[in-house]
Structure 1
Amino acid sequence: MPLIVSNEVDCLYCYKCLRNCPVKAISFCAGKTHVQEEECIHCATCVSVCPQKAKGYTKNIEEFRKLCGKPFLVSIAPSFFAHYDEPYRIVSVLKSLGAEIVQETALGAEIVSKEYSRIFQERGTVITTACPVVVELAEKHYPSVLSHLANVDSPMVTHAKFLKKLHGELPVVFIGPCVAKKAEGTVDVVLTFEELDAFIEEEKMDPSRFDEQLPEGPYPSRARMYPVSSGINYTVQTQFDAHIIVEGVENLIELFEKFSPSERKIFIEASACHGGCINGPAIRKDLSLAEKRSRIVEHAKRMSQLQQSSFQAQLNLERVFAAKKKEHEIDEARIEEVLIEMGKADESKRLNCGACGYNSCREKAIAVILGKAEKEMCITYLVDKLKAATHKVVEESPNAIIMVKDGKIIYRNKTALNLLRSNHEDLIPRLRESFFKGQPLQIDSHVYYVKFFILPEEKADVYLLVDITKEREQEETLRRIKKETLRKMEEMLVKQMRVVQEVAGLLGETVAEIKVSFTELRKTLEE
């Protein structure tokens, strides 16, 4: 099952998700949209930016609910203390649900940092792999940099291994701000802060009714700063001139595209989120990065007062990366063919505006060939197509359409050309008079109803002549039928009156009543 899911019912094809997807892993085709798992790096940008909430991610609340009431272990990400106003009460909430141990993932980060330091000293230039999006970006799109990734498990996976080694094979639940963590494996259930909040609300639990409890040791010394900018470097303690920080997928892409390891050792702290994990996709957004950072610092100060527990971690943390990039061989002639089909035969028509979601018209053409996009996603293509269709509708209209500018006729459609084969010098004033007086206009043997509007862009008047000749003929025919019917009935009335006069003595007053009735009938018919 894909991690990032699409709700086609709510999708309005605005392409905002595609425009913001850094690797263009979203397909729009045949009226359907879906995320292409083989290209997706699970950054969840599409989930965050979709105005219709048509993108979401796989939730694991039910899996967590099944664990409740039984013993399980919890690993809480360092950003846990930035998300919750009263994080130590949430620790108590987790304990009440069956958590045997609630421990900081920062302990795993501390172990990982020691490995980073060792690899950096041995190998030179190294890219951190604590962020799963960084790894997926390299594996699926930039395999050339894989040899420079730190081949160490992430802090979450490391901590899960540590917990299971220390406390047995109990299920491990990780709680953090990252959607991509769900694809890393090893951990039994991965919940985002959003999911834990939803669970607490569904269960109608009130955290304020719980006492505060601190996470269990052993404790890390420096790794609690992992989720903020430069937090990894702070933990590893590299020299200032030997490290750089790269945050945001766009910046990572630029780094990977131009990556050329120098002879000098560079420790690269890489993160998909600007500002670090405290700005992850599933963490609260109502607090500033400064406020979240200060909460992390406050927690670190409070925990530093506790006696630090010593721990030994003999774990196998080696990690293997695999190139997963899908290569496509596409003929240049076919690309040109699609560009021509989109009305971009001329280089000047290739605006590369990015409205469709792709950075260039050429990228869009390739996506069309691969079945990921539709030609109609191009705004300029649609406008040109609409103009052509509109012109055809106007040209083939059964109504006469005449455009007038500065007192001269500048356009006539086919119907108008057939109508005005003879010279009609007085036509323009007659058109205006007919429209403003609301009277039909007769040209030769035809009668027209005139409509009028103005084209501001062209500064021209447009007259639409609707042929009502047949309707007028039908009205005249109906009038003749009515008149003939009245005549026939009058003849019948006269004949009846003669009969009545002959038998007047027999009918008496009935005759007068019949005459009145026929008179009224005649009046009614005439009206």
Structure 2
Amino acid sequence: MNDKFHNFQDKRMKIFSEVVKKYWNKEIKDIHDLNNLAKEIKKRYNFKDEDMPFIQDHIRVAMGLDAKGNANFEDEVYQMKNFKKIGQPIIAKIDGACEYCNDEECKCSDACKYEASIYKRTRGPIIVNNKCLSCGQCVTKCDYGALADKIEFVPLIDFLQDKKTIVYATVAPAIVGQFGENVTIGQLRTALKLIGFQDLIEVALFADILTIKEAFEFNHLVKSEKDFFLTSCCCPVWFNLVKKNYPSLFTHMPPSISPMIASGRILKKLYQDAKVVFIGPCIAKKAEAKETDLQGDIDFVLTFRELKEIFSALNINLSDLPSEDKDQASFGGRVYARTGGVSFSVKTAVNRLEPARLIKLKAKRVDGVKACKQILDELSTEKDIDYNFIEGMGCNGGCVGGPRTNIDVEKATHKVNEFGEDSLIMTPFDNVNVMKILKQLGMDKIEEITENGEGSKILERK
């Protein structure tokens, strides 16, 4: 491999880090500043003059903007300051990189083996967008930086530095352990407050709310031994795989939104004009936040890998910070992060609602796109099945195996289970925060979570 592309995924994060430092310190004001940054990167990483468009595009993507190919910097700073949101597509194709890759080195052809078709061409990969699930595997597989997901932090900086703007961070349950063996959620809360966030809120709290909703929906939809239920919670890769490729099975999905979307909708309902930033392990969540019927619920999406680089760029040492701890979510909500977590949580809720239910919840849990496709193919044959609740997760191991995590799946799963066990709240029904939020949404009884009122509609796709 060409030396300048060695460990390019890490180098890409260093480019992002330089953009963060300079913009945070107000050292990026115009084209001149961007050109100087591009020259610094060219020199540091041994690029050539002809690589300058490639470098400029990676700076654009680090700013949350579209790649432009051979175009020089023009109005990028103006765009970032005035548009204040990241547009589609979330995956940028960078010209020039594929020229250094040969067929033996290319991994793109296998990156989407079970979903979209990506073909190597002389000017870069081609993505069939109507099949793409935005899982992000192609981005992490490419060693040459030909594919990159836009990073959404730099446009957020102006909001964080504006004391009049309230910005909440909602963090995925998989976050535990991602920033150091002994770094606590309370220390992450302190760190996020230091850079301008109002507070850190566990998305597991909203998973608790959605768990109760899906338990009611399971009881409503599964009435016979032949009925089955495909959870719509949590994973956008699973949701879109069913929606795009298995329309006959899509009717077995409830209308519930994901916990991420619920966190944004509810916080914006309770705190008008607040901005909500989701932080997770997943590139697909960037795409979910931009779906037509979900736009505006989440303002920006960051990944664990990006947040790690942000802390480094701003010289924040998490282990040195005091820990501001809060018990916001149940064991069940916190284990949504790993395979089987959704099934476990919904099953406990179903059993609490109807202890004497004749048709028990029998879960089938699958992870990875290949396994998800296999189970959906099996369901499509209409053969007899011995399960009635199917949980699909696009990443191996669940969210803990996402493409933008900082630690391996096994370790992350262990940390998630530990964090769940540390909760003083066992099930969603034991979480007083849930009922408090539902009352603020206008629901006086837990049963109203599935009734056709304004409060319940906030938990469903528009």
TM-score bracket relative to the smaller structure: 0.5 to 0.7
1:128 to 211, 231, 241: 231
| Matches of 2:241 and 2:125, distance apart in 1 | 22
| Matches of 1:159 and 1:280, distance apart in 2 | 20
Q: Quote the residue 2:149 is aligned against.
A: 57
Is contact 2:94-2:124 (8 Å) kept? no
The alpha carbon displacement at 1:29 in A equals 4.3
Q: Quote the residue 1:91 is aligned against.
A: 189
**Counterparts of residues 22-37 of structure 1 (less than 5 Å):** 22-29=114-121, 31-37=123-129
The alpha carbon displacement at 1:20 in A equals 2.6
| Matches of 2:459 and 2:209, distance apart in 1 | 12
- Are residue 107 (structure 1) and residue 177 (structure 2) matched? no
2:107 to 16, 38, 44: 16
- Are residue 78 (structure 1) and residue 162 (structure 2) matched? no
Q: Quote the residue 1:232 is aligned against.
A: 342
Find the residue that maps to 1:74 and give its secondary structure.
strand
**Counterparts of residues 332-481 of structure 1 (less than 5 Å):** none
Q: Quote the residue 1:175 is aligned against.
A: 279
Is contact 1:18-1:24 (8 Å) kept? no
The alpha carbon displacement at 1:265 in A equals 6.2
Q: Quote the residue 1:155 is aligned against.
A: 259
Q: Quote the residue 2:452 is aligned against.
A: none
Q: Quote the residue 1:252 is aligned against.
A: 372
| Matches of 2:194 and 2:122, distance apart in 1 | 49
| Matches of 2:173 and 2:215, distance apart in 1 | 20
The alpha carbon displacement at 1:290 in A equals 3.2
CA change 1:291–1:266 in 2 (3 A) is same
Q: Residue deviations 1:174-198, cap 9 Å, x none?
A: 1110111112222011100111112
CA change 1:264–1:308 in 2 (3 A) is closer
| Matches of 1:219 and 1:24, distance apart in 2 | 36
The alpha carbon displacement at 1:32 in A equals 3.3
Q: Which runs of 5+ in 2 are unaligned?
A: 1-87, 223-227, 290-296, 352-359, 442-454
CA change 1:195–1:20 in 2 (3 A) is same
Find the residue that maps to 1:175 and give its secondary structure.
strand
| Matches of 1:38 and 1:282, distance apart in 2 | 23
CA change 1:10–1:29 in 2 (3 A) is closer
Is contact 1:229-1:276 (8 Å) kept? yes
CA change 1:29–1:267 in 2 (3 A) is same
Find the residue that maps to 1:94 and give its secondary structure.
helix
Q: Residue deviations 1:271-306, cap 9 Å, x none?
A: 001111111110014x3x332222123323333289
Is contact 1:17-1:45 (8 Å) kept? no
* TM-score between the two structures when normalised by the length of structure 1: 0.56
| Matches of 1:319 and 1:38, distance apart in 2 | 24
Q: Quote the residue 1:492 is aligned against.
A: none
Larger Rg: 1
Q: Which runs of 5+ in 1 are unaligned?
A: 322-527
Find the residue that maps to 1:99 and give its secondary structure.
coil
**4+ residue segments displaced more than 6 Å:** none
Is contact 1:5-1:34 (8 Å) kept? no
Residues matched between the structures, number = 318
CA change 1:228–1:32 in 2 (3 A) is closer
**Which residue type is aligned with residue 2 of structure 1?**
P
1:211 to 313, 319, 322: 322
CA change 1:141–1:299 in 2 (3 A) is same
The alpha carbon displacement at 1:320 in A equals 4.9
| Matches of 2:158 and 2:249, distance apart in 1 | 41
Q: Quote the residue 1:223 is aligned against.
A: 333
**Which residue type is aligned with residue 125 of structure 2?**
T
Higher relative contact order (CA 8 A, sep 6+): 2
Q: Residue deviations 1:129-184, cap 9 Å, x none?
A: 22001122123333232111222000101122222223333000111101111122
Q: Residue deviations 1:359-416, cap 9 Å, x none?
A: xxxxxxxxxxxxxxxxxxxxxxxxxxxxxxxxxxxxxxxxxxxxxxxxxxxxxxxxxx
| Matches of 2:252 and 2:400, distance apart in 1 | 26
Is contact 1:106-1:155 (8 Å) kept? yes
The alpha carbon displacement at 1:9 in A equals 1.7
* TM-score between the two structures when normalised by the length of structure 2: 0.63
**Which residue type is aligned with residue 229 of structure 2?**
V
Bigger mean CA offset, 148-157 vs 18-27 = 18-27
CA change 1:209–1:320 in 2 (3 A) is closer
| Matches of 1:80 and 1:165, distance apart in 2 | 25
**Which residue type is aligned with residue 193 of structure 2?**
K
| Matches of 2:410 and 2:300, distance apart in 1 | 30
Q: Residue deviations 1:231-266, cap 9 Å, x none?
A: 111111268861100111011112223324558760
CA change 1:13–1:154 in 2 (3 A) is farther
| Matches of 2:143 and 2:331, distance apart in 1 | 42
The alpha carbon displacement at 1:13 in A equals 5.3
Q: What root-mean-square deviation, in Å, do the aligned CA atoms of Structure 1 and Structure 2 show?
A: 2.6
| Matches of 2:302 and 2:410, distance apart in 1 | 25
Q: Residue deviations 1:424-457, cap 9 Å, x none?
A: xxxxxxxxxxxxxxxxxxxxxxxxxxxxxxxxxx
